[in-house]
Every structure is written in structure tokens, then in C-alpha cells.
Amino acid sequence: MDIQELKVKSFVTKYNKEKKALISILQNIQEEYNYLPQEALRIVSETLNIPLINIIGVATFYRAFSLEPRGKHLVTVCMGTACHVRGGPKILEEFERKLNIQAGETTKDKQFSLEIVACLGCCAIGPVVVVDGDYYAQTTIRKVGSILKKYMKIKKKNESN
């Protein structure tokens, strides 16, 4: 992937090159590239005069950031206690089967990344799955296919435009 130095620097200057804006800058980079490319982190490091290891420390501390390319759609399956006892592991297995990947991986076409989380904090409506910020309550194995189809349709609509 070609990282545009001017684009990354524009994210830094957007926040007046303030070190305290590091998380916001990383969020902008993540939004642009769908992950935090190492080259972009180096540019931020040099521009803000922050050691690269410190930036990587922030990037790896927060789950919202990824140092590896993610798919266009992020599927997160909750594995908290309430979701787990209500079928979370079986739901995860169904996503893995339908996407032909394991948790922590991205599909070959870069459309979907599948992740698990310890708890989403919505135990009363579990098991819960989140796709691109959309919450799906009381998810069952039967709902997995229709959830994925919704996001596959989005891809097809965008390709035809």
C-alpha cells in the first residue's frame, strides 16, 4: 500500500502538531487506511518528535487500533460470560465457517475481519455481534448468514456505482 506522506502529515497538522492529539491522529490514520501502517507511524513519530516505540505502545494498548490490515467490515463477536453461555462460541464458529477464516483473521478479499472481545457490556441482550458499529442483539446461528448478506450487499451496491 502506498502511504501518502502528505496525507499523514495533514492529520498531524490538523491538530496543530500537538503530542496530546496522538490518539486522534491515529484514529484519522486508521480511518484512512483501515489499519495503522508502519510507514505512517514513522511519519507521525518524526513529525511529532515522539519515539516510535511510544506510538506503537499506544496503538497496541487500544483495541480500536490495528497494526495489521483489516477487512472493510469488522465483525466482533462477544465472548463475555452472558454471551458465552447463550451460545457465543457456536455463533463464532458459524462466522468462521461462513467467512472461511478464524477469529483474528481477515478474508482473502479483504472484505471481512473477524474478532472476539471479552465483553461488550450489553449482557442483557446477548449474545451480541457488532459489525461496523451496528449491534445485533440475541444473535443466533440462523441470523449469521443474514447479518453477513447485509454487508455483502453494501459491497455489491458500491461496486455498481
**Measured distance CA(11)–CA(17) in Å, rounded:** 9
Query: What secondary structure does DSSP assign to the chain, as a single string?
Result: ----HHHHHHHHHHTTT-GGGHHHHHHHHHHHHSS--HHHHHHHHHHHT--HHHHHHHHHHSTT--SS---SEEEEEE-SHHHHHTTHHHHHHHHHHHHT--TT-B-TTSSEEEEEES--S-GGG-S-EEETTEEE-S--HHHHHHHHHHHHHHHHHHHH-
Structural fold of domain 73-160:
Glutaredoxin (3.40.30)
161 residues of the chain, pLDDT tens digit each: 467 889 999 999 999 989 999 999 999 999 999 899 999 999 999 999 999 999 999 999 988 899 998 999 999 999 999 999 999 999 999 999 999 999 999 999 999 999 999 999 999 999 999 999 999 999 999 999 999 999 987 655 555 54
**For 54, how many CA atoms within 13 A lie in the half-sphere containing its CB?**
11
Cell readout for 39 is 510507514
Cell readout for 130 is 457488532
Query: What are the residue ranges spanned by the domains of the chain?
Result: 5-61, 73-160
133: how many CB neighbours lie within 10 A of its CB? 7
Please give the pLDDT value at position 159. Answer: 55
Strand partners, 78: 117
Please give the pLDDT value at position 5. Answer: 87
Please give the pLDDT value at position 63. Answer: 80
Cell readout for 141 is 446461528
